[in-house]
C-alpha cells in the first residue's frame, strides 16, 4: 500500500510530565518508545503528580545517561544525576486507574523535585514495564504501557495542527496562537496527510512496526500550558471545543499500540513512510 504520510519528528519523555527529548531514531518496545515515561513523580500517597497541577515540571529537562539513570536540569536548580534504582524496596504507585509497584529513586531526587513542585514529592522508576496494562476496554490481554497516561504511543499530524492554528487565528484568542506541536506531547509527528485523516486510521505500519489505533486522544489542560514558560492560557482548549468536541471532551491525536515485532521490538525513524493498512470512513476520532 502506498505511503499516506511521513514521519517528521520523534519524541520521548523520560519523566512523565517533564520535557521531551527529540530523537532521530527510536526503538519501539511493547510498552512504548525505549526510555519513554519510565520515571514518574508521585506524592506522599503514591499518586501521580503531573504538570496539570504543577506546571513548573514542564521546565525540567531529563536526559537518559548510558547507565540507565537520568540527569535532571531546570533553570533555577543545580543539575542532578539520578542513578537507576536497583529494583529493591518497591512501593505502590497509582497513575489514573492503574495501581502498580515501582522503585523509589532516593532522597536526593525527592528533595530536588520537591523544590521544583513546591510540595513533598518522590521520583519513582518502572523497573519492570510489564506490570501495567492499558485500559482493557481498548486493549488486548498482552498489551502493556509504561507510565504514559493511557497508551504506549501518541501520534499527531502537522496538517491537523495547521488547521487548528488557522481556527485559533480567526477566533477571539488569536494572540495565543500559533501553537507548537510540543504542546500536545506526541511521540510521533507526521506530515503529508489531510487534516484529521489520522482519525480514520485503524492499522498502520511505520518502519518495521505495525500499530493499532485504539482510541483518539481526549485532551486535558496540558496543551494549554506553554512548555517554555509554564504559563497556562485558554488555547487550544477553547478552539478544540468548537471544532473537535465529542462526548463532552476535546480531541487531538491518536493513541497507538504496537503489534509487531514483539517482544523484540522494532525501529522507527524520522523520514519513515506511514503506510495505512486499514482505515474506515467514520467521522471524528475513535472513542
pTM confidence score: 0.96
* Alpha-carbon span 37 to 138, nearest angstrom: 20
Cell of 220: 486535558
Q: How far is CA 92 from CA 107, 145, 218, in A?
A: 17, 17, 27
Identify any residues that bridge with 12 across adjacent strands, giving them in sequence order. 21
pLDDT in tens, the chain (287 residues): 667 899 999 999 999 999 999 999 999 999 999 999 999 999 999 999 999 999 999 999 999 987 889 999 999 999 999 999 988 899 999 999 999 999 999 999 999 999 999 999 999 999 999 999 999 999 999 999 999 999 999 999 999 999 999 999 999 999 999 999 999 999 999 999 999 999 999 999 999 999 999 999 999 999 999 999 999 999 999 999 999 999 999 999 999 999 976 666 799 999 999 999 999 987 899 99
- Which helix (H) or strand (E) segment is 98 a member of? strand 98-104
Q: Residue holding cell 487550544?
A: 236
**Residue 95: what pLDDT?**
97
32-54 b/e (C-beta count within 10 Å ≥ 16 → b): bbbbbbbbbbbbeebebbbbeeb
Contact criterion met (CB below 8 Å) for 7 and 271: yes
Q: How many domains does the chain have?
A: 1
In a domain, 286, yes or no: no
Query: What CATH number corresponds to the domain at position 90?
Result: 2.40.33.20
In a domain, 24, yes or no: yes
Cell of 69: 539513570
* Alpha-carbon span 189 to 230, nearest angstrom: 22
In a domain, 287, yes or no: no
In a domain, 285, yes or no: no
Task: Give the domain extent around 143.
Answer: 3-279
* Alpha-carbon span 167 to 283, nearest angstrom: 19
- Degrees to nearest 5, angle at CA 36 with 30 and 38: 90
In a domain, 159, yes or no: yes
In a domain, 284, yes or no: no
In a domain, 124, yes or no: yes
Amino acid at each position: 500500500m502506498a505511503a499516506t504520510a511521513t514521519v517528521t519528528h520523534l519524541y520521548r519523555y523520560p519523566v512523565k510530565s517533564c520535557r521531551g527529548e527529540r530523537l532521530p531514531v527510536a526503538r519501539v518496545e511493547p510498552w512504548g518508545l525505549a526510555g519513554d515515561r519510565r520515571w514518574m513523580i508521585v506524592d506522599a500517597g503514591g499518586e501521580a503528580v503531573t504538570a496539570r497541577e504543577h506546571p513548573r515540571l514542564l521546565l525540567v529537562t531529563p536526559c537518559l545517561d548510558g547507565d540507565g539513570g537520568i540527569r535532571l536540569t531546570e533553570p533555577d536548580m543545580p543539575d542532578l544525576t539520578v542513578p537507576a534504582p536497583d529494583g529493591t524496596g518497591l512501593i505502590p504507585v497509582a497513575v489514573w486507574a492503574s495501581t502498580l509497584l515501582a522503585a523509589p529513586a532516593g532522597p536526593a531526587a525527592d528533595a530536588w523535585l520537591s523544590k521544583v513542585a513546591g510540595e513533598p514529592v518522590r521520583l519513582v522508576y518502572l523497573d519492570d514495564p510489564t506490570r501495567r496494562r492499558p485500559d482493557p476496554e481498548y486493549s488486548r490481554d498482552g498489551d502493556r504501557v509504561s507510565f504514559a497516561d493511557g497508551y504506549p504511543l501518541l501520534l499527531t499530524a502537522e496538517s491537523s495542527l495547521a488547521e487548528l492554528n488557522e481556527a485559533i487565528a480567526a477566533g477571539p484568542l488569536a494572540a495565543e496562537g500559533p501553537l507548537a506541536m510540543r504542546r500536545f506531547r506526541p511521540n510521533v509527528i507526521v506530515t503529508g496527510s489531510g487534516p484529521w485523516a489520522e482519525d480514520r486510521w485503524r492499522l498502520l505500519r511505520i518502519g518495521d512496526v505495525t500499530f493499532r489505533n485504539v482510541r483518539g486522544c481526549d485532551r486535558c489542560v496540558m496543551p494549554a500550558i506553554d512548555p517554555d514558560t509554564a504559563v497556562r492560557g485558554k488555547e487550544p482548549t477553547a478552539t478544540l471545543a468548537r471544532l473537535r468536541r465529542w462526548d463532552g471532551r476535546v480531541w487531538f491525536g491518536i493513541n497507538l499500540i504496537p503489534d509487531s515485532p514483539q517482544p523484540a521490538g522494532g525501529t522507527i525513524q524520522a523520514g519513515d513512510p506511514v503506510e495505512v493498512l486499514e482505515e474506515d470512513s467514520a467521522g471524528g476520532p475513535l472513542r
